[in-house]
Amino acid sequence: MAGPSTESRFPRPLSVLAIKCRAEEGFWDALRRLKLDVLGTDDSPLPITGQLPNIFHSLDIELNRHLSSDLRLCPESLVPPSDNSYGNRNHCPVPGTLINTNNMRGFQNLDREHLLRAEAKKILHDIISGKVEEDPSLLLRFLVISFADLKNWKVHYNVAFPSLVFNTKMTLLSQKFVSQVLSKKEAASLYSSLQKWRSDTETTVVPFFLVSISSDSSASVRQLKDWNACQGNCQKLLFGFYDHGHSKGLSKVPGWAIRNYIAFLNIQWKIEKVHFFCYRENQGKPDLEQSLIGEASFPPPYGWQDPDYVPEAIGWEGEKPGKGSKEIEPKEIILESMNPVSRDNEQQLMHLKLMGWRHFPVNIEKLSHIRVLLLGAGTLGCEVARLLITWGVRKLTVVDHGYVATSDLVKQSLYIDKDCGVPRATAIIPHLKERCPAVEVEGIKMEIPMPGHPVSPSKIESIAITAVLGYDNYVVMRHGAGTGDMDEGTDWMDDLSTKDALGRQRLGCCFCNDSANLSVTDGKLDQHATTLPGLTSIASGKAVELFARMLHHPDEIYAPGDIAGMDSEHQLGILPHQLRGSLPNCVLSTELVNCNSNCTACSSTVLSEYRKRGLDFVTQAINYPTYLKDLTGIIDLKRPNACSKIPISISVNSDKFSDVRCLLLGAGTLGCDVARILMDCGVRKLTMVDCGHVVVSNLARQSLYTSDDRGAPKVTAILSHLSEKCPSVDAQGIQMEIPMPGHPVSPNEATAVLEDCKRLKELVASHDAIFLLTDTRESRWLPTLLCADENKIAITAALGYDSYLVMRHGAGPGINCKVGLESNTGSTMYSNTTWTGLYCIWTSCRPLYKNVNPSRWVLSEYRRRDMGFVMQVINEPTYLEDLTGLTDLMKSAACSQVEWVDESDDEFVEL
């Protein structure tokens, strides 16, 4: 029975049905993992493979919508094409290109029109070179552009199916259903040939083919590469392709694939009138009632023979007629399929994987299985435990004999008010689990005999790290390896104090340091009872970094000690033996101390006695104060301390601290620690400003948040934790995004942004000190300007990958700021308005710009125009550079042979 007629007015422009993409969530999750674990910052185009359905099961339109004919992207699509053999009877493998950018700005700035034409040129090249005849799927090339937002588990993307556009038009001359064109005998023969074609594993995945019908009504289906064999041997020659249009219920409209197919036939085989065959199926069998046969004309295009010719193209999914490709809205997918527990754990380890982007592959597997023993759960213990979790350590044992006291709450970052009176070894466990449910923590309440003299190491070579705090200085060191196994009867037993059994130089332990550097008084380390606020975070950070470097060093505990200035091939830099830091002098020094033959803990004499007598030796050392001295031959330990002694009591104006009003811009990693340390200093009036929410990856790195805070605004969550640690603190939180220069806002957003600018101005004016702790450089511009105008104390702290910057801002120029006046304090004022690294360039070019002072220009404009000036800076990306002369300065930098560094990749710092 003949199907419905497709007769209509002919000729008419050829209309086709566009292809759509159905990207599975698993594809984007696989891309996210590939980005994290393999690609890193590499944003080079990737070859991928899509699955284009080649059968359509039913005439039921609703059913066909569920049996989507769209191009499918699945996790296997990311497998290199040479290894990708998943094409089958149901799907044809189609080659594609994926461009995944490193940040949202890069994704938005992609030239979509240029990329589409570049893909179209590849198709044209494949046609001219003859590759299409060998692999017809090349006519269906597709392009995916994306940005995988790793932090927020989102993917923004667009998909294009390039279709060549030339200077001549395709015209549809006629079109009918197959049953209306072929005789019953021809149709029966074609039906049989198509079944054979579809049952062959080699041909079923080929989306374009030839249909030849001879004079005896027999039909055969051939591949495109058999074109020459079909010449002159058939009465009818049809150019067939798998047509997806039928599944959309649009039976009279050919699918998208016909456009590039017709272009190929014209360019390569010089065919101007094409008899096409739109092949369709019903329930897995050829459906000749719905398949189409038609004729289309395409006059030869011109100009494409030029090797540099780049064809026009269309094909962006969602592109509307008359709209440019830049108007296309990106699609967004939120990855929510993962198990919540595994997803949380992966989020907490994400920053370690991101370290691999800087050419340092962190051994996460090794870190997760290593067992760490912490002796002490106080000020240092809390910080070290939290930082170890941040490094991926998941097995901790904490030993402490003390109880949480009220005075501990501000200094010891993990404890809260309800922990008072609870043993530290017990109280610390739930707080670590709150920050990382995957961590295994064991708490042991035990007093270590003879504080300051830990039990000597046994034959097992374990990594040991010591961190010691003074009043305003600290020591962090790694202990050297033991002596190894050695018979006591050997002649060179005495050498084991400085070398191990294999002749390797032994580094000293903390007690070698005592005897060598004379830092022992009355048999114990000379430590002040009081420590400057903030010193703990520095020392604990150094201790954990030292541990991580040792663990990733090929020699681990046997690694030689490095000192500052040495060249190191290790990816994490030098691996020092000992770090000594002094806050008053802003000094950090590296020292190398070899094992001391008179050491009371690791010398060969002490180790030999311990191995012979075990705990009897330890008991004797505990009960007889001079035993170790006599055993090791130390005559006099009571020598002057080489460490500088600063008087414990210094004049501190506690009232001034309690009255000062501090504004903290940023409540993340820096904001949490700065707020806690300020309270430890006696500050009681804090205002926190942040626009973010607490996510899982924050819990280990940002010291005040717990799992109960997930999803809450940071400025809300932090207030409760500050109050828990210090009930007398007067803290308020303001959720607000700081407007940034060069980030234009729409008219609908302008009013809200202006109100945020005014509010920030009021906050700066009403506070005594402002801390700039935000993630990006741009977000610090407006606060810096307002601080300079109000002449406020301003402190900036910024973190890089393995470096940091802490600075206090200079005073503003005062109220008599006049345009065009030179200032002798220009360097301080430049730092308020210019980009990082600009001052050195400005200095080298200064003779060219004697009458230009950027800071004065900016402040003068701000005082003259107020928020009108700020809004112009926000909406016009180059306005500041033009105003201050930096645009010309950047040009002159090239003339001065000064390298200009554009620090535009702030997303990496945040990640």
Q: Which pLDDT score is estimated for 131?
A: 95
Please, are residues 230 and 214 in contact by the beta-carbon 8 Å criterion? Answer: no
The candidate with the shortest Cα–Cα distance to 44, out of 99, 106, 81, is 99
- Taking only the tens place, the pLDDT of each residue in 357-366 is 766 778 888 8
Q: In the structure, how many helices (H) and strands (E) does the chain have?
A: 30, 32
Q: What value does the mean pLDDT take over residues 40-45?
A: 90
339 band by pLDDT with thresholds 50, 70 and 90: low
Mean pLDDT score, 13-26 = 90
Once rounded to an integer, what is the mean pLDDT over residues 159-180? 93
In a 3-state reduction of DSSP, which class is residue 155? strand
**Per-residue pLDDT tens digits for 386-432:** 989 888 899 999 999 999 998 888 888 899 888 999 999 999 999 99
Over range 44-60, report the average pLDDT: 76
Mean pLDDT of 759-770: 92
Strand partners for 865: none
Residues 287, 280: Cα–Cα separation, whole Å = 6
- Residue 519 confidence class, pLDDT cut points 50, 70, 90: very low
Spatial distance between the Cα atoms of 730 and 657, rounded to a whole number of angstroms: 13
pLDDT at 837 over 50: no
260, pLDDT greater than 70: yes
**Does the pLDDT of residue 314 top 90, yes or no?**
yes
pLDDT at 839: 28
Question: For residue range 223-233, what is the model confidence (pLDDT) as tens digits?
Answer: 999 888 777 66
Who contacts 196 (Cβ-Cβ below 8 Å, separation ≥6)?
221
β-bridge partners, 158: 145
Q: Distance between CA atoms of 787 and 791, rounded to whole angstroms?
A: 6
pLDDT beyond 50 at 615: yes
Spatial neighbors of 291 by CB under 8 A, at least 6 apart, are: 177, 178, 243, 277, 278, 279, 280
Residue 149 token pair: 């937002």
SS3 550: helix
Q: Which two tokens stand for residue 820?
A: 């065009």
Among 144-148, 372-376, 446-450, 564-568, which stretch is predicted with the lowest mean pLDDT? 564-568
Give rounded-to-5 percent helix, strand, coil for the chain. 40, 20, 40
Worst-scoring range by mean pLDDT, 157-161, 565-569, 730-734?
565-569
User: Mean of the pLDDT values across residues 610-622?
Assistant: 82
Looking at mean pLDDT, say which of 617-621, 702-706, 817-821 comes out highest: 702-706
Q: What percent of the chain has pLDDT over 70?
A: 76
pLDDT digits over 677-736, tens only? 888 888 899 999 999 999 888 887 888 888 889 889 999 999 999 998 888 899 999 999
Q: Which amino acid belongs to residue 481?
A: A
3-state secondary structure of 199: helix
CB atoms within 10 A of CB 862: 20
Min mean pLDDT across 424-428, 604-608, 754-758 is at 604-608
Q: Check: CB of residue 844 under 8 Å from CB of residue 824.
A: no
> Is there a contact between 783 and 770 (Cβ–Cβ < 8 Å)?
yes
Using alpha carbons, select from 640, 645, 628 the residue that is nearest to residue 520.
640
Whether 265 shows a pLDDT value over 70: the answer reads: yes
Give the integer Cα–Cα distance in Å for 805 and 827: 17
Of 498, 501, 497, the C-alpha closest to 486 is: 501
d(CA 244, CA 250) in angstroms, rounded, equals 10
pLDDT band (50, 70, 90) for residue 761: very high
* Confidence at residue 848, expressed as pLDDT on a 0 to 100 scale: 32
Q: Helix (H, G, I), strand (E, B), or coil: what is residue 94?
A: strand
Tell me the pTM.
0.71
- Residues 453-505 pLDDT 10s: 444 444 445 778 888 777 778 888 888 776 665 554 444 445 545 565 566 66
Reported as a single tens digit per residue, the pLDDT across 631-684 is: 877 654 444 333 333 333 445 566 677 888 999 999 998 899 889 888 888 889
Closest by Cα among 680, 685, 705 to 535: 680
Q: What does pLDDT average to over the chain?
A: 78
Q: How far apart are CA 243 and CA 253, in angstroms?
A: 9
Which long-range CB contacts under 8 A does 299-306 form with residues at least 24 apart? 299/168, 299/169, 299/272, 300/168, 300/266, 300/270, 300/272, 301/166, 301/167, 301/168, 301/266, 301/267, 302/167, 303/167, 304/124, 304/166, 304/267
Task: List, for residues 784-806, the tens digit of each pLDDT value.
Answer: 888 888 888 888 888 776 677 78
Q: How far apart are the first and last CA of the chain?
A: 65
pLDDT score, position 502: 62
